[in-house]
Amino acid sequence: MTVPTETFSSPVSSTVARSWLLVSAARPDLFDHAAATSADAIVLDLEDAVPAPGKPAARGHVARWLHRGGRAWVRINAASTPDWIEDCRLLQTMPEVAGVVLAKTESADHIERTAEFLGPQCPVVALVESALGLEQAGAIAAHPATVRLAFGVGDFRRDTGIGDEPIALAYARSRLVIASRAASIAGPIDGPTLDTQPPALAQDCTLTVSMGMTGKLTLRPEQVGSINAMLGPSVADRRWAQSVIEELGEGGERVGDGSDLPRLARAQRIRDLAGALRCPDLP
């Protein structure tokens, strides 16, 4: 089957991508379906979604789909494993890959080794999934190849014994947000919502936004639309931003007091994000 390249091209930059849809690399029958969703980023998963005996075949599925015109990120195995080397050898020859999500990142050296293997043209999303990774979040975020951090909630909880309550994970989320901001990279990507019920997803997305995170992993195509809506600027936010910019002027020509400049800066961020996400014009 011949697949048009544009079918698999994300319309938005990875720096503002909200929904990151993970698809098992062992299920090539799902690749086209994932690409047909409105996900901002598709991630073909060579790590946890593929049992060890199936990894060579999964790499073949990824290679064939990308060579056929697909466009996606690939989650590769941890840099401490032999599978990492095989994953990198595969992607080294594939300029079609949008970037890599590096599993279990625990140091800037993991990013450095990956970047040396794949070259500077291949951006890296660093998946932080352990206490050691969290402690090194600042250095990981500061590496030039890192475009975003992502939070591997399940493995982080297994590593630390921390519960799944929002307050229990608040420190970890805040740490990733602050490390990202200090390194001047985009806000981090939160972990997935495993509960299939819409209220659970809405609650989790509200938490994601309140913590300062700007993207979310998902395993379910049916969640993509809601994630995009809840993590993007709402119509109300965009109208507010437009009114503030009109009131104060694009360059702050009509600023009246000390509260106006922060308002204007927030309004411009909302306006610019809407543009980057190609939101439709306001009604």
Q: Are 179 and 148 in contact (CB under 8 A)?
A: no
How high does pLDDT run on average in the chain?
92
Count of residues making up the chain: 283
Q: Which one-letter amino acid corresponds to residue 142?
A: A
Any alpha helices (H) in 149-276, and if so which ranges? 153-160, 166-182, 198-210, 224-231, 235-248, 260-276
* Kind plus residue range of the DSSP H or E element containing 138: helix 137-142
* Kind plus residue range of the DSSP H or E element containing 45: strand 41-45
SS3 148: strand
Q: Hey, what are 233's tokens?
A: 């600027």
Q: Which one-letter amino acid corresponds to residue 107?
A: S
* Distance (Å) of CA 188 to CA 20, 111, 113, 128, 154: 12, 16, 22, 10, 16
Of 277, 233, 229, residue with least CA distance to 15: 277
pLDDT in tens, 212-255: 999 999 999 999 999 999 999 888 888 988 888 888 888 878 88
Q: Tally helices (H) and strands (E) across the chain.
A: 12, 8
Is the predicted pLDDT of residue 8 greater than 60, yes or no?
A: no
φ/ψ region of 282 (left if φ > 0, alpha if ψ in -120 to 50, else beta) reads: beta
Q: Which one-letter amino acid corresponds to residue 24?
A: S
Which residues, 6+ apart, have CB-to-CB distance to 98 below 8 Å? 10, 14, 41, 71, 72, 73, 123
Structure confidence at residue 95 as a pLDDT band (50, 70, 90): confident
Angle, CA of 176, 235 and 147, to the nearest 5°: 25
pLDDT in tens, 21-31: 999 999 999 99
pLDDT in tens, 40-84: 999 999 999 999 999 999 999 999 999 999 999 999 999 999 999
Structure confidence at residue 5 as a pLDDT band (50, 70, 90): very low
How much is the pTM? 0.91
